[in-house]
Copies of this chain bind each other. A is one copy, B any other.
Amino acid sequence: MKYSVSEENYIKAIYHLQQEVDRVNTMLLASTLETKPASITDMLKKLKTKRLLDYKPYYGFKLSAEGNRVALVIIRRHRLWEFFLAEKLKFSWEEVHEMAEDLEHVSNKKLIDKLDAFLGYPKFDPHGDPIPDQDGKIQKEEHVLLSELKVKAQGRVTKIKSHSTKIMDLIAHQQMNIGSKITVKKVFEFDESMEIVIDGKTTKNISKQLANNIFIANDK
């Protein structure tokens, strides 16, 4: 089955919201897609008749098994393109999301599988999010917040929680990046700020708020 750009954007948005809440509701989806609630209701009916959605009026909704499968196909396309843009075309990882938002709707399966091969079957996109494979399987990476690490613990930065420009600014300035190796040197009781070493080179002090937004995979 082939779905329209709009349908795909709805499916993907519902999938992402479901990672946070169990049953998505109209208002929430309207605000993330920046449309009006009435438009959401229209699309919900359509997705329901296409059997992509479990939906009872007034009771919220969730993707069907098939809806989930479709969502993962779209997310696979999105993240592979993001990886391509960052890795091959040398875009910074803040720039890639918007372009991938369009590229994800080019839906030729053979194209995506060949792209995957060309990129060397990457497991994570530039933001550290997992890339579903051909069967929709995603590799779960166990990561913890940097703020939860104890002194002497170390690991690699896998993901940033929020992608706001404010946080990006700070992180870029600190010369941290996805993949950077982090070692915790000290944790100060006063404000829970940390002293860390980045890639075995530079030593930095970071606030609790910042450490709360950085995910780390335990290196071992």
Contact = CB atoms under 8 A, between A and B. Distances in A.
Interface of A: 85, 88-91, 98-99, 102-103, 106, 108, 111, 114-115, 117-118
19 contacts: A85-B111, A88-B118, A89-B111, A89-B114, A89-B115, A89-B117, A89-B118, A90-B114, A90-B118, A91-B114, A98-B108, A99-B106, A99-B108, A99-B111, A102-B106, A102-B108, A103-B103, A103-B106, A106-B106
A103 B88 CA distance: 17
Contacts of A85: 111
Contacts of A90: 114, 118
Q: Top 10 A-B pairs ranked by shortest CB distance?
A: A89-B114, A102-B106, A99-B108, A99-B111, A89-B118, A103-B106, A88-B118, A89-B115, A91-B114, A90-B114
Given A89-B115, A89-B118, 11 more contacts: A89-B114, A89-B117, A90-B114, A90-B118, A99-B106, A99-B108, A99-B111, A102-B106, A102-B108, A103-B103, A106-B106
Contacts of A103: 103, 106
A195 to B, nearest CB: 38
Nearest to A105: B102
Contacts of A98: 108
A100 to B, nearest CB: 10
Contacts of A102: 106, 108
A114 B85 CA distance: 9
A190 B102 CA distance: 57
Nearest to A111: B99
A120 B99 CA distance: 21
Nearest to A114: B89
Contacts of A88: 118
A107 to B, nearest CB: 8
Contacts of A89: 111, 114-115, 117-118
